[in-house]
Structure 1
Amino acid sequence: MAIAVDNPPAKPRRPAVWRKLTSLVSDLLPKGLYARTLIIIMAPIFLVECIVTFVFMEQHWEQVTRRLSEATAHEVAALIDIYQNYPQDDDHRQLTELASKRLGLSVEILPAGKLPPTRPRPFFDLLDRALTTELKKSISQPFWIDTVGNSHHVEMRVSLGTGIMRVLVRRNQAYASNWHIVLVWMVGTSLVLYTTAIVILRNQIRPILKLAEAAEAFGKGRQGPPDFKPRGAREVRQAATAFIEMRDRIERHVDQRTTMLAGVSHDLRTVLTRFKLQLAMLDETAATKGLERDADEMRHMLEDYLAFAKGDGGEVAKPANVVEMLE
């Protein structure tokens, strides 16, 4: 009678690319606990900073710049309306004083002519793009702007037919120029957080490193750190206390074994001494000489065994050729 046995479904294997990627990441990551803990703490902070910076640059900074550019464009449009709809003196002093005192703009009416050629946009063209867009919405006359030439001012020229209105506006009046303050605060607070994390981690990981050092030294039969004692977090203290108790139990076991072997050594040596004394009382023959050699050999074997059992074998480490030993 045949019995059908359902084989359990095989576990899906990870793709080879995923295995290679995880292996590469594992090779690149540091192997120490301290470095890995630092990465675990600092990586989220760095990621949050990148996200906040991106959101600030793309949303807040752009929005503030657009609002400032919009206000500047409205002011320029108002000056154009005043120039075209209200009578002006010959040197346009009233218009320039109004713009300077009320709006913080430097206005100059130039003779009619052609506007300068358009300059290439800078790499960071947020101000150029925002101001151009808002001027197109507010005025219908041809205009030209320069956001690169003067680092502290933005120059705008508007062709009015009878002349060209040249307007100079402070850069911080049309552009959110204090963005670096936010970045400085972010970098400064990050450095403070990183420094605090490093100090705290060093204090928390030092007991673990001491425990590892003590365990390694005890496993190799060497003297451990003299200042080793339970420190740090509760779990680390529990592990250190358990290690100390285990070490004490092993040392007591070794002491008891040494004491037992010392007693066995005394008893065996007593029997061996009586045996040698009886041999000495016999007549010297070839048989007794052989027995004496056997007794001496037994004594040496017993002493070597007891010394090895006590850990006092005294073997000296010497360089050896493994190839010759295998041959």
Structure 2
Amino acid sequence: MSRAPFLRRAVSAVFPDRGTPARLNRQGLRRSLRRWRRRLKRIRPFGGLGDRLMGRMPKGLFARSILIVVTPIVILQAIVAYVFMERHWQLVTERLSQSLTGDIAALIAVIERYPHEPGYLDVTRLAADTFQLTVSILPPDPLPPPVPKPFFSLLDHTLSEQITQVIGRPFWIDTVGNSDLVEIRIRLDDVVLRVFAPRRRAYASNSHIFLVWMSGSALILLAIALLFLRNQIKPIVALAYAAESFGKGRNVENFKPRGAREVRQASQAFLDMRERIERQIEQRTTMLSGVSHDLRTILTRFRLELALLPEGEESQAMQNDVEEMSRMLEDYLAFAKGDAGEETEAVVLPDLLETLADHARRSGDAVVLNFSGEPEIHVRPTALARCISNLLTNAAKFADRVEISATHRDGILEITIDDDGPGIPDEDKEAVFRPFYRLDDARNVDVGGTGLGLAIARDIARSHGGDIALEDSRLGGLRAVVTIPA
């Protein structure tokens, strides 16, 4: 029997807006499925409760691991406590209360059925010898007002329920006043029966030991789990620190793969990657050193040959070309080499900035310097100096006034360089960091340069784990903001 009619009817029932089964085709079915998928994606289960819970989840791996361990323990303890309270503790307390209530009912029957001597001495002896109860007969005064009960009083609730069901007379109980005894008063026809019963006769007083043991064992298990979790998290934290330090150009000498197999594999992969990168950098540096030596040799030969020529306009123009080629070569090599090979060291930042500012002032630029925060920082000094120098040179080319503001607080170094030049359009503020990129308007090629200054500066900042952003300056020109974690 063919299933086609059944499938057509099923499709028609699920997607009634697609027309009759005869008109349904594969393309229409796909469109309907896509539409229903989009509708289902827009449904937010539990009113977005899941999103709110995820937003409040701990961010760290250690905290999330603790939550994963603690949550099942808490749920299990709650279930066990509920079952224990519901099935055991309450049942035991109920049966003890039934026994005590039955004894009191027997005493009431004796009092009402048989004559007694004054003082009801026979009843008190019977209660003490047979039921271990202390009984006294009081005048028929009104019962005391109810005693305030604890928030959770299983004994009060169970005992009151049993007295109501078995005895059915007005009563008053006090389970709070004396920790070892339970006082019960029951109003009879012409007297009030007062009974003092040991608490253990109506209440499973040792049941809390189980709860204490359960809570204590849970805390011990949790402490052991936290100890093991911390030891498992340490290698991951060490790997993250080593990767971050390597990204900032710092070398972690004592880093070794530790922890679980997967963590050791990730650590070993990081070490292999670091070794390959360092080997490539070393090979590139060696190659560039050889190229730079050969090119400088040729330029030196040009200078010597030009020095032997008679002075004139042509020789001077050739001399300028050689100097320009030398500057371009230095920029190209600096961009290609980056800051490879330089180690980080402690630098007094105000002294470094003041040296760069003085150098700019000697060139005729008006430079103002302001610094605040912690003076010492661990960076690659030569690379950082080149980064700031490139930004200063770029600002001084197009402006009459340059201001440097630097702050170093909470592990963040921020250097701001403002100028009063023509600025850069917003659409070009990111493009100028590309190598050899030149602007065609105010900051143009007429001022010279290779187009690598900003690219080198950003490369240095990023090698320190930071970045450079360009903004509009309050002086009317361009603002360069260097941010480096240190």
Which TM-score bucket, shorter chain as reference?
Answer: 0.7 to 0.9
Give 1:23's match in structure 2, choosing from 47, 51, 60: 51
Equivalent residue number for residue 375 of structure 2: none
Give the one of 40, 52, 63 matched to 1:35. Answer: 63
Decide which moves more: 226-235 or 278-287: 278-287
Q: 1:4 to 1:81 in 2, by over 3 A?
A: closer
User: 2: CA distance between counterparts of 1:290 and 1:212?
Assistant: 55
1:22 Cα deviation after fit: 2.8
Does residue 235 of structure 1 match 2:262? yes
1:184 maps to 212
Deviations 1:156-201 (A, max 9, x none): 2344546443211122321223343333223322322222222211
- In the alignment, does 2:248 pair up with 1:220? yes
Of 182, 202, 221, which residue of structure 2 is paired with 1:193?
Answer: 221
| 2-structure distance, mates of 1:147, 1:42 | 39
The alignment partner of 2:138 has SS state of: strand
The letter for the 2-side match of 1:286 is: E
Q: Please state how far the C-alpha of 1:137 moved relative to its aligned partner.
A: 4.3
**Deviation for aligned residue 1:262:** 1.0
Post-superposition shift, 1:151?
2.9
Q: Which residue of 2 aligns with 1:131?
A: 159
1:325 equivalenced with 2:478 (yes/no)? yes
Secondary structure of the residue aligned to 2:386 is coil
Q: What is the CA–CA distance in structure 2 between the aligned matches of 1:47 and 1:93, rounded to whole Å?
A: 55
Q: Does the C-alpha gap of structure 1 residues 18 and 217 become closer, same or farther in structure 2, counting only changes over 3 Å?
A: farther
The two structures, once aligned, show a CA RMSD in angstroms of: 2.8
CA deviations on 1:189-238 (whole Å, 9 max, x unpaired) are 232222222221111111111111111221232x1444321111110000
- Contact 1:107/1:166 (8 A) holds in 2: yes
Contact 2:171 2:185 in 1 (8 A): yes
Task: Give SS of 2:58's match.
Answer: coil
Where do 1:146-161 residues align within 5 Å?
A: 146-148=173-175, 150-152=177-179, 153-161=181-189
- The aligned amino acid for 1:320 is I
Q: Flag the 1:19–1:92 CA change in 2: closer, same or farther, 3 A.
A: closer
Q: Tell me how far apart the structure 2 counterparts of residues 42 and 189 of structure 1 sit (CA, whole Å).
A: 13
1:127/1:147 contact within 8 Å kept: no
Distance in 2 between residues matched to 1:128 and 1:306, nearest whole Å = 89
Query: Structure 1 stretch 84-93 or stretch 56-65: which is displaced more?
Result: 84-93
Deviations along 1:288-311, one digit per CA (max 9) or x if unpaired, are 121112112212222332233333
Distance (Å, rounded) in 2 between the aligned partners of 1:133 and 1:25: 43
Q: Distance in 2 between matches of 1:65 and 1:75?
A: 15
Amino acid at match of 1:67: R
In the alignment, which of 165, 173, 187 is matched to residue 193 of structure 2? 165
- Bigger strand share: 2
| d(CA) in 2 for partners of 1:45, 1:69 | 33
Decide which of 105, 109, 134 is 1:106's aligned counterpart.
134
Partner of residue 338, structure 2: 311
Contact 1:145–1:154 (CA under 8 A) maintained in structure 2: no
- Establish whether residue 66 from structure 1 lines up as the match of residue 94 from structure 2: yes
Q: CA deviation at 1:82?
A: 4.2
Question: What is the total number of aligned residue pairs between the two structures?
Answer: 321
- Which residue number corresponds to residue 56 of structure 1? 84
Q: Does the 8 Å contact 1:115/1:157 carry over to 2?
A: no
Pick aligned residue for 1:279 from 306, 320, 335: 306
Paired residues of 2:101 and 2:162 also in contact (CA < 8 A): yes
The more displaced of 301-310 and 253-262 is 301-310
Structure 1, residues 26-74: CA drift from partner, whole Å, max 9, x if none?
Answer: 2211211111111111111112222222333333222111111001012
Distance 1:103 1:183 in 2: 30
Q: State percent identity of aligned pairs.
A: 44
Residue 119 in 1 paired to residue 141 in 2?
Answer: no
Alpha carbons 1:213, 1:224 under 8 Å: kept? no
Q: Could you tell me which amino acid in structure 2 is paired with residue 57 of structure 1?
A: M
Structure 1 match to 2:320: 293
Partner of 1:107, secondary structure, is strand
Q: 1:147, 1:73 → 2: CA distance? A: 15
Match of 1:257 in 2: 284
| CA distance, structure 2, for counterparts of residue 48 and residue 76 of structure 1 | 40
**Match for residue 447 of structure 2?**
none
Q: Helix, strand or coil for the counterpart of 2:77? A: helix
Q: Could you report, residue by residue, the CA deviation over 1:251-300 in whole angstroms, capped at 9, with x for unpaired residues?
A: 00000000111111122122222333332333332211211121122122
CA distance in 2, matches of 1:164, 1:77: 13
Seen in structure 2, the aligned counterparts of structure 1 residues 24 and 139 have a Cα distance that, compared at 3 Å, is closer
Distance 2:162 2:130 in 1: 21
* Alpha-carbon separation, structure 1, partners of 2:233 and 2:126: 68
Report if the CA contact (8 A) 2:144-2:172 is conserved.
no
What are structure 1's unaligned runs of at least 5 residues? none
Cα distance in 2 for residues equivalent to 1:169 and 1:28: 52
The match for 1:45 among 73, 84, 99 is 73
Distance 1:103 1:148 in 2: 19
Task: Give the AA of the match of 1:325.
Answer: L
Taking structure 1 as reference, are residues 275 and 159 closer, same or farther at Cα in structure 2, changes over 3 Å only?
closer
